Structure 1
Amino acid sequence: MYSLSCLYSIKENPFRSKSRFPIALRIREALYSCHQNGLALLLVWIPGHSGITGNETADLCAKSAVHLGSLEHFKNSSQDLSALAKTYLIRSWKSLWNDSKSVKGKYYASVQTDIPRRPWFFSCKYADRWVTSTICRLRLGHACTPVHLNKIRIRDHSICECGLEEGTVSHILFSCPKLLHPLYDVLPVQVPRPLNVECLLMSVFSPFCRFLCKYVKCNNIKL
C-alpha cells in the first residue's frame, strides 16, 4: 500500500474518527473476517514506488481510470458530498458577506476584511473570558466607551472620565491618563508605526494578539 493516510484511516477507531470512509470500514470488515478464519495479514506502507515491479503499471491504470472509467456504476461517499456542500456554503457566505458589509457592520468589515476559518480566540487559550469579550466588542464597534454610550443615549455626554477629551477607543487605548502605561509606550518594536485602532484590532490573528490580551488585562480595560 503506497498511501500512509489510508493505513492510518484503517487503523484508527472508526467510532472516534471524524472521517468515516465506507471503503475503510469494508477493509476493516474484511480484515476481521480473515482473522476469524485464521489468516494473518500484514499491511505495509511502501514509500513512493521503491522500484517494485508492477507499481508503475498500477499507478498508470489508476490515473487512466479517472478519465476513461465508466460513469454508469459509481457511488458517492458522504465525504465527497460533504466537501461539495462545504465549498458551496463558503462561497455563498462570502457572497453574502461582501453584499452585507456595505450596508451594515461597516466598522467590523474594516477590521475583518474576509471570513476567517476560525474565530481569532480559538488560538488564544491564554486569554480570559472577559478579555476576549472586550476585544470582540472593540472589533464590532459596540464597546462601552463614553462615545458609544452617548450615541445609544445611555450617557448624557461623550467625555471620558478623565475629563480631557471624548472617550473614543483611540483615546482610551492611546492617550487616557488613567492608563497604567499608554499603549504606544509599551508596543513591541516589531509593530509598525504609526498605528491606529483599526490596525491594532486587525492584528488579533497575528502573534501580537498575546500582547494585546495582556495589555487589556493589565490595565483592567473593561469595555
Structure 2
Amino acid sequence: MYRSLLGHQNIDFSGVLGLNLRYRLFSDSCSALQALCNFNSTHPLVLAILEWLVLLGRRGRKVTFCWVPAHVGVDGNERADALAKAVVSNSRPPARHHPVPAVDLRPYIDATVRSCWQDRWDAVGANKLRDIRQRLGLWSYSGLSRRWETALVRLRIGHTLLTHGFLMERAHPPYCDDCLVPLTVRHLIVKCPSLGDLRRRHLSEYRKGDGSYSLSQVLGEEACSVGGNTLSYVEEAGLLQKL
C-alpha cells in the first residue's frame, strides 16, 4: 500500500549523499511515515529506505521526516505538485527495482478477477438469477427469519419446492390452476392475475408505468429486508411454507 510513496522516497535518497549534512523530507502520508518507524517490517521498500537511513547516518548525514497534512485548500499546492513531478521525472538514473510484495498485488489481482467474473456474468444468456442481479456482489442479510432467508434464496435462483419439486418426484411440471400456464417464480411474484389484489396492496411501490412489476426490485435487497413488503406479500399469498 505504500509502494508509490515509498518508491519516490527511495529515489530521493540516492541524491542525499551530497555536501549537505542535514536533510528534511516532507510527506502527506502519515501511514507511510509510520511504516518507517517499524524496524520489524518485512516490506521490501521499507527495509530499503531503512538501509539508506543507516548508511546516511554512518556518513554523518541526518534525515528528518516531516508530516504535512493533506494539502487540500492550502496555497501553493499546485506549485508543490509541479515541483514534485519535476523531481520524479528528471534525468537522474532510475532507482533500483525492488520486488513487489504479494500484499501490494492483491488489490490488483482481486479487481482483475472480479472484472473477468463480471464479464462472464454479463455474457450469460437467459438466467433467472441474472434477471434479478446484474452486478456481482455479496447479498446483504435481510435481518429477518432464517426461514425467509432460505425461501428468498430459492426465489432468486428461480428454483423452489413449489415450482421444481416435480423433478424429485419424477412428475409433470406444475401449472397455475387459475391461468393454466407453467408455474414459475416470476408468474407467482409478478404475473398471476389471481394475486393481483395482494400485489397492489403490498408491492405497489414496485409497479411500473405500464402496470407490470419489476421482479428485480421485488426480490431485491431493499424490498426483502426489514421494512420491505415482499415477505408480507409471500406470507399472505400462502407461499412461504411451499417454497
Calculate the TM-score normalised by the size of structure 1.
0.57
Matches of 2:101 and 2:216, distance apart in 1: 42
**What is the 5 A alignment of 1:1-223?**
3=28, 6-7=29-30, 43=67, 45-48=69-72, 50-51=74-75, 57-64=79-86, 67-68=89-90, 71-75=94-98, 76-99=100-123, 101-102=124-125, 106-113=127-134, 115-116=135-136, 118-120=137-139, 122=140, 124-146=141-163, 148-153=164-169, 155=171, 158-159=174-175, 164=178, 167-170=183-186, 172-173=188-189, 175=192, 182-189=198-205, 191-193=207-209, 194-196=211-213, 199-205=214-220, 207-210=222-225, 211-215=228-232, 218-219=235-236, 221-222=240-241, 223=243
Q: Secondary structure at the match of 1:74?
A: coil
Contact 1:21/1:79 (<8 A) preserved: no
Contact 1:150/1:157 (<8 A) preserved: yes
Q: How much does 1:22 deviate?
A: 7.2
Specify which structure has the higher proportion of strand: 2
Matches of 1:66 and 1:73, distance apart in 2: 14
Match of 1:33 in 2: none
Match of 2:15 in 1: none
Structure with larger Rg = 2
Q: How much does 1:190 deviate?
A: 5.7
2:147 maps to amino acid: W
Structure 2, unmatched stretches of 5+, are 1-25, 36-41, 54-64
Match of 1:37 in 2: none
Contact 1:22/1:77 (<8 A) preserved: yes
Matches of 1:66 and 1:81, distance apart in 2: 23
